[in-house]
C-alpha cells in the first residue's frame, strides 16, 4: 500500500492564511547540540532519495548525482514515467511511486523533499520517524505549527533537518552575510528588497507565500547574531481578480530600530531582483540579474554629528553631512547555489551540527509569513512576532 504522504504529491496545496494567535516563541538560535542517537555516517557517499520529480526535483537530482558526498538511490514520484524521464534511459537510480519502499531501503540515509508545501509535514515526519535526515524545499511547511512539529521531531531523534533556502548559498548572498557580520558595512540602517516579474500567478497561494520566502530567508541568513525582526506589516492588492494578493509590500521592524522592506509582484512587465542594504559605513546594492556586477559597495552616505561633537553655538542644531566616496564591485566566483547547498547538507549530516539553513531558520521564515498573512487580512495591521499585535 502506498504511503499517504507520497499520494499527496499532486494534490493542490491549500491557501495558507492562518493567523498568528496568542504568543509564540521566537526560535532564533544559532546552534543545537547533536543527539547521540543520530545514525552513524561513514566517509562513504551518503545514500539519498529525492521525493518529487516536478519543478524542483530534477535540479536536486542533478546536483546529488554530481556530488561525491552522495549517492542517489531513489527518485520517488506518483508519475513514474516522468521520474524516469528526469533520470534518463541509462540511469541505475531506482524509481518508485511508494514512499514506504524508499524508507524501507537501509541504504537510504537521507531524503530531499520537493513536493507541494501542503505535503511537507506528512512526508518529512515519515522520513524523520524512519531515522532519515531530511532536506525540505521552501517553505519548510504550510504553517508555523507544522514546521515546529518537524523541528521538534528532528531534535528528538538527533537528525539533520535542513530547509532548501537556495538563494542563501549564492556567492553574492554569502558575501553579503560576511560583510554584514564583519561590520564592514557598519550598523544596519535599512534593507530594501524588490522581487518582481510577470507571473507566474499561482492558483493555491498568494504572492507573499510564493516569492517572499526568498527574501525573508535571505534576511534571516545575513543578519548578524542578536539582530532579528520583531514585527511585520503587509499590504497587498489583487488588481486582476485572482482571488489572492498579486502585489504585496512587507515592512519589518528590527530589534535595533532598523527597518526592512520587501516588494513582491506577479504583475510587473519587467523582471527585477535587487536589494539595497544601507549601513552606517557603507551601502551595498545587489542586482541578482547582473552577472557582471552582482554586488556594488558604495562608500557614500549621510553622517550626523552628535551634540557632544558640536560647538556651543551649534548644539541647538543637528549637523548633517553627506559622504561621497568610491564604489567597489567585489569579485564573485560563479558557482551554482544548489551545489553549495548540497555540500552543506552533507557537512551537517556528517558532523551532526546544524546546517546554515536549518529547520529553525525555516521556522523563523514561516513565523513571518504567517504573521504577514494575518496582517494582510486585517488591513496592514502591524503584527508582533513575539506574540500579539499592534493596532
Domains along the chain with CATH numbers: 1-30+40-294+332-391 (3.30.360.10)
**What is the secondary structure of 48-107 as a DSSP string?**
EEEE--SSSHHHHHHHHHT-TTEEEEEEE-S-HHHHHHHH-TT---EEES-HHHHHT-TT
Partner residues linked to 324 by β-bridges: 300
User: pLDDT (tens digit, 9 = 90+) per residue, 357-376?
Assistant: 999 999 999 999 999 999 99
pLDDT the model gives residue 20? 31
**What is the secondary structure of 182-238 as a DSSP string?**
HTTT-SEEEEEEEEEEE-PPPSSS-HHHHHHHHHHHHHHHHSPTT--EEEEEEEEE-
pLDDT bin (cut points 50, 70, 90) of residue 319 is low
Whole-number average pLDDT of the chain: 88
pLDDT the model gives residue 239? 94
Q: Which three cell numbers stand for residue 338?
A: 544548489
Under 8 Å between Cβ of 286 and 274: yes
Q: At what angle do helices 359-377 and 144-157 cross, to 10 degrees?
A: 170
pLDDT the model gives residue 300? 75
pLDDT the model gives residue 304? 72
Q: Is the pLDDT reported for residue 163 higher than 90?
A: yes
pLDDT the model gives residue 172? 98
220 or 309: which carries more pLDDT confidence? Answer: 220
Distance CA 161, CA 133 (A): 6
Distance CA 231, CA 368 (A): 8
Q: Which helix (H) or strand (E) holds 137?
A: strand 133-137
Under 8 Å between Cβ of 292 and 277: no
**Which CB contacts under 8 angstroms, 24+ apart, belong to 100-103?**
100/1, 100/2, 100/3, 100/6, 101/74, 101/76, 102/49, 102/51, 102/73, 102/74, 102/76, 103/3, 103/127, 103/130, 103/132
pLDDT the model gives residue 312? 59
| 3-class state of residue 369 by DSSP | helix
Report, as an integer, the average pLDDT of 152-179.
98
Distance CA 60, CA 52 (A): 10
Partner residues linked to 303 by β-bridges: 321
pLDDT bin (cut points 50, 70, 90) of residue 174 is very high
Q: Is the pLDDT reported for residue 379 higher than 70?
A: yes
**What is the secondary structure of 259-309 as a DSSP string?**
EEEEEEESEEEEEEEEEEEEESS-EEEEETT-TT-SEEEEEEEEEE--GGG
Helices (H) and strands (E) in the chain, counts: 10, 16
Report, as an integer, the average pLDDT of 200-210.
94
User: pLDDT (tens digit, 9 = 90+) per residue, 284-308?
Assistant: 999 999 999 999 999 977 777 666 6
pLDDT the model gives residue 35? 35
Q: Residue 81's Cα: distance from chain center in Å?
A: 31
Q: Is the pLDDT reported for residue 19 higher than 60?
A: no
User: pLDDT (tens digit, 9 = 90+) per residue, 73-131?
Assistant: 999 999 999 999 999 988 999 999 999 999 999 999 999 999 999 999 999 999 999 99
CB atoms within 10 A of CB 308: 6
User: pLDDT (tens digit, 9 = 90+) per residue, 30-67?
Assistant: 433 333 344 456 689 999 999 999 999 999 999 999 99
Q: Is the pLDDT reported for residue 22 higher than 60?
A: no
Distance CA 115, CA 308 (A): 59
Q: What is the percent of the chain with per-residue pLDDT over 70, rounded to a whole number?
A: 84
Q: Which three cell numbers stand for residue 175?
A: 558575501
- How are beta strands 382-384 and 229-237 bridged, if at all? antiparallel
pLDDT the model gives residue 388? 40
Report, as an integer, the average pLDDT of 201-210.
94
Q: Is the pLDDT reported for residue 3 higher than 80?
A: no
pLDDT the model gives residue 323? 73
374 or 13: which carries more pLDDT confidence? Answer: 374
Q: Taking Cα atoms as reference points, which of 60, 101, 95 lies closest to residue 80?
A: 95
pLDDT the model gives residue 308? 65
Q: Is the pLDDT reported for residue 208 higher than 50?
A: yes
pLDDT the model gives residue 317? 58
Distance CA 335, CA 332 (A): 9
pLDDT the model gives residue 105? 98
- How are beta strands 295-304 and 247-254 bridged, if at all? unpaired
Amino acid at each position: 500500500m502506498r504511503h499517504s504522504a507520497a499520494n499527496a504529491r499532486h494534490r493542490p496545496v491549500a491557501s495558507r492564511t492562518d493567523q498568528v494567535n496568542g504568543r509564540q516563541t521566537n526560535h532564533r538560535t544559532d546552534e543545537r547540540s547533536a543527539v547521540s542517537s543520530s545514525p552513524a555516517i561513514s566517509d562513504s557517499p551518503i545514500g539519498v532519495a529525492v521525493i518529487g520529480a516536478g519543478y524542483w526535483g530534477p535540479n536536486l537530482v542533478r546536483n546529488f548525482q554530481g556530488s561525491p558526498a552522495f549517492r542517489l538511490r531513489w527518485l520517488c514520484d506518483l508519475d513514474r514515467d516522468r521520474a524516469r524521464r528526469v533520470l534518463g534511459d541509462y540511469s541505475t537510480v531506482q524509481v518508485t511511486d511508494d514512499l514506504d519502499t524508499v524508507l524501507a531501503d537501509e541504504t537510504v540515509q537521507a531524503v530531499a523533499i520537493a513536493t507541494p508545501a501542503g505535503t511537507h509535514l506528512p512526508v518529512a515526519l515519515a522520513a524523520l520517524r524512519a531515522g532519515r535526515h531530511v532536506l525540505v524545499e521552501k517553505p519548510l511547511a504550510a504553517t508555523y505549527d507544522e514546521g515546529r512539529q518537524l523541528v521538534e521531531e528532528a531534535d528528538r531523534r538527533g537528525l539533520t533537518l535542513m530547509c532548501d533556502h537556495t538563494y542563501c548559498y549564492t556567492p553574492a548572498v554569502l558575501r553579503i552575510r560576511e560583510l554584514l557580520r564583519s561590520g564592514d558595512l557598519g550598523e544596519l540602517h535599512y534593507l530594501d528588497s524588490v522581487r518582481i516579474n510577470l507571473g507566474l500567478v499561482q492558483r493555491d497561494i498568494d504572492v507573499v507565500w510564493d516569492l517572499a520566502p526568498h527574501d525573508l530567508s535571505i534576511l534571516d541568513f545575513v543578519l548578524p547574531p542578536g539582530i532579528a525582526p520583531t514585527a511585520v506589516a503587509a499590504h497587498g492588492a489583487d488588481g486582476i481578480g485572482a482571488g489572492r494578493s498579486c502585489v504585496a509590500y512587507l515592512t519589518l521592524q528590527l530589534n535595533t530600530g532598523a527597518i526592512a522592506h520587501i516588494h513582491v509582484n506577479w504583475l510587473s512587465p519587467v523582471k527585477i531582483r535587487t536589494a539595497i542594504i544601507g549601513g552606517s559605513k557603507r551601502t551595498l546594492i545587489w542586482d541578482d540579474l547582473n552577472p557582471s556586477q552582482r554586488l556594488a559597495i558604495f562608500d557614500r552616505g549621510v553622517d550626523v554629528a552628535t551634540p557632544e561633537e558640536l560647538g556651543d553655538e551649534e548644539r541647538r542644531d543637528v549637523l548633517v553631512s553627506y559622504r561621497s566616496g568610491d564604489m567597489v564591485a567585489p569579485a564573485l566566483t560563479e558557482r551554482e547555489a544548489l551545489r553549495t547547498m548540497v555540500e552543506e547538507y552533507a557537512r551537517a549530516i556528517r558532523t551532526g551540527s546544524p546546517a546554515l539553513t536549518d529547520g529553525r531558520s525555516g521556522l523563523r521564515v514561516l513565523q513571518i509569513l504567517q504573521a504577514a498573512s494575518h496582517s494582510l487580512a486585517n488591513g496592514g495591521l502591524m503584527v508582533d512576532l513575539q506574540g500579539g499585535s499592534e493596532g
